[in-house]
Amino acid sequence: MPEREPSITGYLTLGLLAGRDWSAYQLAEQLGRGVSELWPSADRGRYAVLNRLHKAGFVETRQEHTGTRARTIYSITPEGREALAAWLRTPVRPPTVEFEGMVRVLLSDQGSLDDLRATLARTREQAVANREMFARYAAFISETGGTFPERKHLFALANTFMIGHYEHIISWADWAGQQIADWPDTVAPAETHGGQVRDMLAPGREVLAGDDTSEW
């Protein structure tokens, strides 16, 4: 009898358990690998989720041992499978982004041009590293079938998104670097380069008219 709706981390856990049994440690480890780029969660929270799934009756536990050290093995129950399938039938919530670097861009008039440049450079570097991680993963899946061969086709869909996502960040960082290249500082360009700002805001894309101008 479910007490409360599991979190997304909970459904991810159920999704892993749908294929085979895992120990708590293994589950926590799996959710900290590449999936965390799609659904971030702290190590600590993944164990807490398991306890709640257990209370709700969605998973069962048994103990195994390596010498004197115990570990808990989790398996999914029929109720857990049904809860997962039921969730998949509900409407999705839109993706959200937490982009500290972009917050720094917005507030960069309170700092130096070097701060802004450093933010763009680091953002680019991190995106390159992540893109390459997913590119390597794509090669790995393609060659070996990956850790979840039966989900290869689904991982392919997600992997393609992630690579494109990081490529978009890289492109944007490059473009933004060019935009700020001739700024004298982080404050003045609004006046001295007004025309340029207008160009930035009126690209070749279709810009819709409308009253519902949501402000920042």
Residues of the shown chain interacting with DNA in the complex, contacts defined by CB under 7 A: 4, 7, 9, 23-26, 29, 40-45, 47-49, 52, 66-72
Q: How far is the CB of 179 from its own copies (least distance, A)?
A: 7
Residue 75 interacting partner from its own copies, DNA, none (CB closer than 5 to 8 Å by kind): none
**Which region among 20-28, 43-51, 58-66, 128-136 touches its own copies (by CB under 8 A)?**
128-136
d(CA 71, CA 64): 5
Rounded-to-integer distance, Cα 11 and Cα 58, Å: 10
By the rule CB under 8 A, 152 interacts with its own copies: yes
Does residue 148 belong to the site contacting its own copies (CB under 8 A)? Answer: yes
Among 8, 25, 182, 184, binds its own copies (CB under 8 A): 8
Looking at the DSSP bridge assignments, the partners of residue 61 are: 74
DSSP 7-25: PHHHHHHHHHHTTS-EEHH
Interface residue with its own copies among 25, 64, 164, 184 (CB under 8 A) is: 164
Which of 54, 77, 101, 117 touches its own copies (CB under 8 A)? 101
Contact 133, 34 (CB under 8 A): yes
Nearest approach, Cβ of residue 176 and its own copies (Å): 5
Long-range contacts, 169-178 (Cβ 8 Å, 24+): 169/123, 169/124, 169/127, 170/124, 170/127, 170/128, 170/131, 173/120, 173/121, 173/123, 173/124, 173/127, 174/124, 176/105, 176/120, 177/117, 177/120, 177/121, 177/124
Which of 20-28, 46-54, 58-66, 142-150 is the region at the interface with its own copies (rule: CB under 8 A)? 142-150
**Min. distance of Cβ 21 from its own copies in angstroms?**
16
Cβ proximity to DNA, 52 vs 124, nearer residue: 52
